[in-house]
A and B are shown apart, each in its own frame.
Chain A
Amino acid sequence: MALTVTLLNSVYLRGRRCRHKILHPLLGPLFSDSVSKLYSSYRRPGSQPETKPSWQSIDFSFKKGIDVLKTQLSMLKKETKDYLVGPGGKPFNHYLLEQTRVLWEFRSQEDLNKWVISSDVEIGGKSEVYLKLGRNNQAALLYGNLNTEVPRDGETKYSGYCSMRAKLPVGSFARKKYYDWSNFNSLYLRVRGDGRPWMVNIYTDPYFSHQKDDLYNYFMFTRGGPYWEEIKIPFSKFFLSSRGRVQDDQHPIWLDKVSTLGFTIGDKVDGPFQLEIDFIGLLNDRAHTEEFAYEMYEKNPPA
């Protein structure tokens, strides 16, 4: 590994001196100063300029490789054992009979590490967002300051959003995994907000990249009182949007391959926001019989 690094470094340094050789088109990315040139020369205002080529920031360590391999193999072993037990690692009758399930609970820092927070800083905005454990480690507190000031890059028209998304479920050897929520028909959230409206987003990671921007959204209106709220959002209410634009051709969400859940605030009001979340769960509400809340695009659907 050390040999590879020195080789790459020497090629890089030699390349900086002689730029006009025939090999330059092939080894161009190694000689360039910024990696962003591989993709495009325009850099968003919020992102940092990359001065090191990406291969220089890799830590070539044999021992670390062995450790990672051991972790992945143990994950694979656990997955095989879970497969032998039943779907989702639980026996089959548990799967069939369950009516509620707690997905994410916030009791420790590890639970917080399963979530990623982001805001419009990535496009050059000025909102701030932070995530920490609430009092007595009983909830997660997502707080910050929303700022709708538009970044001055000549093309952005709106700004001001903050969000929290669960990390994508990953199996052994970095394979994509999905959640199977097909047994349930509502989302059950125990939250305490500050009266601001939030948007709940569900991402069903598609196989092909044509639909990678597809997101199913619905709103969560918080009360703001000192009391905790238990909000039930049926999955039949979620509508489809792509890159933020609500689509004409709506369809109900298929819950057998869900990837992540996220919360976004973007209500165009400057100021601080706070949201405490105790847990996020699923519910099979037998009283809810609606299949889909919106009109489908098809004009004469078959009966």
Chain B
Amino acid sequence: MNPHAKLISALSLIAGTSITISSNHWMMAWTGLEINTLAIIPLISKSHHPRAIEASIKYFLVQAAASSLILFSSMVNAWFTGQWDITQLTHPTSCLLLTMAIAMKLGLVPFHFWFPEVLQGSSLITALLLSTMMKFPPITILLLTSHSLSPTLLTSMAIASAALGGWMGLNQTQIRKILAFSSISHLGWMAIIIIYDPKLTLVTFYLYSMMTTTIFLTLNATKITKMTTMMTSWTKTPMLNATLMLTLLSLAGLPPLTGFLPKWLIIHELTKQEMTAAATIITMLSLLGLFFYLRLAYYATITLPPNSTNHMKQWHINKPTGISIAILTSMSALLLPLSPMILTTI
């Protein structure tokens, strides 16, 4: 891509995110969201492949509809209460509309249908941006308005997301779609606790972003986009393969890896809030996700694919792995003992 265009897109993404997360007027929040949408469109459609174009069209339509719903909900609130402040969203219609709009932005069930296709159509780095950076502004808005949103609606969307993210991820063979469903499932965990302890949502989001960044960067370094390529990657980069397995298990939420921390704290908080049934249901549903992560990890490391000998040894890989993968992998796997520090600083 033209370096100037790349720079403008990157700066616009940063600008849009900063505008939204630092805003307290609805108009500024909407502006930031729109800037983000428009800035990432050229990144998704960069390769001009029909599937990439299709992904960018789908992304644009969904995000534009969601942004207009956000604007509409803020205007309804301003009409009835005169308040444009994000934290003062009190009118029930506005709250309902905003919940729908944020669910569309994030990809929460039942507005998740666009997410796997969009991720499948974009390159790995763009998919990383879509899964992590583009989720940050809507989660910020959700955080600011969480005290006035309907708990039942959020809980039911969260449980449905965990269910569908686990269920639909089971038969996927394209890695980006699997990561899309993992994202949907994690968003379910983030949404279920936002009413009771918004700080935990942030912790979950940060840890999820870190683990997902690790996975995407590792996949980018080894150019893995489907399961069969993942099966053959141990011959080329055995160390990276082993760390990929650990990161996948961390994303699944297995102790003693980092990914266990948010799940543990969320279950703890839900139980304290007398929501034991919801905690049990969402934990059981994340077992489905655990199954496909385990399967990914198993096929990445333990199986021996039917390769011919000339594929076994490759003397170089195309992309040099930077230090970022090393740092992020260490953090994704080893941060659990530091949980008191994490909780008190975030």
Residues of A within 8 A of B (CB): 83, 86-87, 92, 95-97, 99, 180, 182-183, 204, 206-208, 211, 214, 249, 251, 254, 256-257, 286-287, 297, 303
- B268 interface hit (Cβ, 8 Å): no
Chain B residues, Cβ within 8 Å of A180: 173
Contact B171 A286 (CB under 8 A): no
Contact A95 B173 (CB under 8 A): yes
Given contacts A206-B54, A256-B174, A297-B48, contact A96 B308 (CB under 8 A): no
Contact B49 A251 (CB under 8 A): yes
Given contacts A97-B305, A99-B306, A180-B173, contact A251 B48 (CB under 8 A): yes
Contact B51 A254 (CB under 8 A): yes
Contact B311 A286 (CB under 8 A): yes
Q: Distance (Å) between the CB of A245 and the closest chain B CB?
A: 15
Given contacts A97-B305, A99-B306, contact A211 B174 (CB under 8 A): no
Q: Distance (Å) between the CB of B223 and the closest chain A CB?
A: 10
C-beta contact mask, B280-315 vs A, less than 8 Å → 1, else 0? Answer: 000000000000000100010001011110110000
Closest chain B residue, CB of each to CB of A97 = B306
CA distance A249 to B318 in the complex (A): 24
Contact A83 B171 (CB under 8 A): yes
Chain A residues, Cβ within 8 Å of B173: 87, 95, 180, 182-183, 256
Contact A208 B54 (CB under 8 A): yes
CA distance A204 to B305 in the complex (A): 28
CA distance A97 to B47 in the complex (A): 31
Chain B residues, Cβ within 8 Å of A207: 54, 58, 117
Contact A96 B171 (CB under 8 A): no
Total residues of chain B contacting the partner, CB 8 A: 29
Chain A residues, Cβ within 8 Å of B307: 286
Which 8 pairs of residues, A with B, have the shortest CB-CB distance?
A: A87-B171, A286-B308, A211-B50, A251-B49, A207-B54, A182-B226, A87-B173, A183-B228
Contacts A87-B171, A97-B305, A182-B174 known; list 11 others, CB within 8 Å.
Answer: A95-B173, A96-B305, A97-B306, A182-B228, A206-B50, A207-B54, A208-B54, A251-B49, A256-B120, A297-B48, A303-B318
Q: What are 29 A-to-B residue pairs whose CB atoms are below 8 Å?
A: A83-B171, A86-B171, A87-B171, A87-B173, A92-B295, A95-B173, A96-B228, A96-B231, A96-B303, A99-B306, A182-B173, A182-B226, A183-B226, A204-B50, A206-B54, A207-B54, A207-B58, A207-B117, A208-B54, A211-B50, A211-B53, A249-B48, A251-B48, A254-B49, A254-B51, A256-B120, A286-B308, A286-B311, A303-B318
